[in-house]
Amino acid sequence: MRAMAQSKANKEPLVHVVRKEDTTTLKKWMLRVIAVAAALLVTGAFVFAVTGINPFNIYGAMVTGTFGTPRRIRNTIKTLTPLLCLGVGLAPAFKMKFWNIGAQGQMLVGALAASFVALTFRNLPGGVLIPLMGLGAILAGALWAVLPAIFKAFWNTNETLFTLMMNYIATFWVMYSVDVWKGESSGFASFKQIAKNAVMPVIAKENFYICTGIVLIVAALMYIYMKRTKHGYELAVVGESEKTARYAGINVKKVTIRTMVLSGAICGLCGFLTVSGIDFTLSHTMNNGFGFTAIVVAWLAKFNPFTMIGTSFMMVFFQNAASEISSMNANATEYLSNVISGIILFFLIGVEFFINYRLVFRKNGKEGK
């Protein structure tokens, strides 16, 4: 009996997982490309199975959905702008391993504050009103994020759950405010009608280019902040290990709160950009739940603001693809976009394992030691 148990215990498992640190950048990206290719195969097969559309037409539709016409390219940039902004906002928090799931809520209160300022001071000239809206949004977003941060810093309250709950309070608050502000009318009117001065000026026929510019500047500044400043270094150390940070004399509480103020402020800024330059109105469904998508965008980019341009583009690309496919056939619906991005993301999430770990197979004929 004992001998049997022992031989069982000594037998090495068939596969053994080892952490690897030495994956080269080239190899990492090759693995990710393979993952996307595999995901595209699965997506094609899935869409073909449920709609009967030829997979090659599906891939074709993916490209035309984003690049088909100049207008589509413009729309892609327009959709990408808020998503990138939220991703950049999340970057420092995630780098600190503070799981801010509350970007959605921080964006919504930002939009709410910007709308409040716009409606209250609608007669101010645009040059004063618009910065004022931005300021209101930044403060609101920061406030929404600092609450969970304070409780995390002082009482170690679980930040994932706290920020998640804050999203729903923000959502219902926006629904409530829209109800109040729209009064008897069926929907909340466009700022283009009720508060003209609150609308971003037009550049090259579009209002949103200024927003895109602002987001790119914020992304660049964030890159510098995270890579080149003392603050950025401190938050990275806290993310690696709180114990090390304390040992090195870093005030963990202060860094946590400061970083979350910044994170929430940028997410709030996104709300302002959306109401002033993209949607021109307030709605709890604004930006399509991007507060959640941005979590994935930031994580896939390994919290690098520049890589996020690529990852957020990818998310928008697949969303466009699905809306293109949904017009091809009665069996295809707009909801396929969620399914398609889901499949692609599952593969991209899964491939990280093969980047960070190596599988070691048991050698034949060499069981036990």
Under the binding rule (CB under 8 A), the answer on residue 361 touching other proteins is no
User: By C-beta, is 12 or 352 nearer to other proteins?
Assistant: 352
Give the largest Cα separation in the chain, rounded. 89
Q: Residue written as tokens 């994956």?
A: 23
Under the binding rule (CB under 8 A), the answer on residue 149 touching other proteins is no
Asked if residue 273 lies in contact with residue 213, where contact means CB atoms within 8 angstroms, the answer is no
User: By C-beta, is 92 or 134 nearer to other proteins?
Assistant: 92
User: By C-beta, is 180 or 204 nearer to other proteins?
Assistant: 180
- Short-list 188, 213, 210, 192, CA closest to 201: 210
User: Restricting to residues 68-127, which ones interact with other proteins according to CB under 8 A?
Assistant: 99, 101
CB of 50 to other proteins, least distance (A): 7
Under the binding rule (CB under 8 A), the answer on residue 350 touching other proteins is yes
Phi, psi of 206 (to 5 degrees): -130, 150
Under the binding rule (CB under 8 A), the answer on residue 153 touching other proteins is no
User: By C-beta, is 197 or 333 nearer to other proteins?
Assistant: 333
User: Restricting to residues 271-310, which ones interact with other proteins according to CB under 8 A?
Assistant: 289, 292-293, 295-296, 299
Under the binding rule (CB under 8 A), the answer on residue 337 touching other proteins is yes
Residue from 335, 358, 359, 368 in contact with other proteins (CB under 8 A): 335
Q: Pattern of binders to other proteins over 177-206, x per CB under 8 A? A: --xx--------------------------
- Long-range CB pairs of 115-118, under 8 A, 24+ apart, other chains included: 115/177, 115/181, 115/191, 115/275, 115/282, 116/177, 117/198, 118/191, 118/195, 118/197, 118/198, 118/275, 118/276
Whole-number Cα distances in Å, 50 to 43, 123, 169: 11, 53, 37
CB of 172 to other proteins, least distance (A): 4
Residue from 176, 247, 306, 361 in contact with other proteins (CB under 8 A): 176
Residue from 12, 206, 242, 352 in contact with other proteins (CB under 8 A): 352
Q: Pattern of binders to other proteins over 36-65, x per CB under 8 A? A: --------------x---------------
Under the binding rule (CB under 8 A), the answer on residue 357 touching other proteins is yes
Q: Which residues bind other proteins (CB under 8 A)?
A: 17-19, 50, 99, 101, 151, 155-158, 160-162, 164-166, 168-169, 172-173, 175-176, 179-180, 289, 292-293, 295-296, 299, 330-331, 333, 335-343, 345-346, 349-350, 352-353, 356-357
